[in-house]
Amino acid sequence: MGVKERRLRLKEESRTNILEAALSIAKARGWQAVSMRKIAEMIEHTPPVIYDYFLNKEAILMDLARMGFAQLAGNIHRAQLEHDLPEKQLESMWTAYWDYAFAEKELYQLMFGIGTQGCCDDSNMPEVEALATLFVKVIRHIMPADQQSTEQVSAVYFGMWATVHGLISINLVYKHNTGDLNQQVLQHVVRNVTASLAD
């Protein structure tokens, strides 16, 4: 490995360490506890070193949110590939979305501004659009041919997203529901909407 390649690899490792440190702090103490100083302490550098990689804390949060959306899209795509029928794909995809929200709670909260200042503006984050595209394609396959306008398909997608995201948000704040109840509600919503699409 040449000097240039080694330097690039070390730079990428440092960048990754900064992101991992920020996420670790958030998991331990919440997003409000993340600061350039605390990140620097965790990676055993001085704060100015972090500014060599990120303009400010918001840039770190934006990169973490991008990472979260990319992970979520990957999980959803894999869930889609588990089934051939679009109806089953859609249910599996929303279940993967649900599972990600709780497996990566802190990232999900950051991505959607739950209990923290939102850092995501989908106009400058193509990862959000990629996520929507996965769902829209499957929804379009379920809907009758005469109801597949962009507006109609988008209305179904945003309606389902709002419902699932709302249920997740409630559960992140109000933790008294059981996992079984949540799965019943999720399946009920997704199956009812999916069944109505074919009518």
Cβ atoms within 10 Å of 16's Cβ, excluding its own: 12
Count of positions (residues) in the chain: 199
Q: Kindly list the averaged pLDDT for each block of 10 residues, start to end, along the chain of length 199.
A: 79 92 95 94 90 93 94 97 96 96 93 69 75 94 88 93 90 73 82 79
pLDDT at position 51 is 92
Please report, for residues 31, 97, 135, the alpha-carbon distance to residue 21 in angstroms, rounded to integers and kept in the order given. 12, 25, 32
pLDDT at position 123 is 57
pLDDT at position 1 is 63
Task: Say if residues 142 and 85 touch (Cβ distance below 8 Å).
Answer: no
Please report, for residues 11, 157, 191, the alpha-carbon distance to residue 145 in angstroms, rounded to integers and kept in the order given. 51, 16, 20
Which residues touch 129 (CB under 8 Å, ≥6 apart)?
A: 122
pLDDT at position 118 is 57
In this structure, which topology does domain 55-197 adopt according to CATH? Tetracycline Repressor; domain 2 (1.10.357)
Q: Exposed, middle or buried by CB within 10 Å (0-12, 13-18, 19+), for 175? A: exposed
Query: Which pTM value belongs to this model?
Result: 0.87
pLDDT at position 96 is 97
pLDDT at position 62 is 92
- Per domain, the residue ranges of the chain are 55-197
pLDDT at position 178 is 66
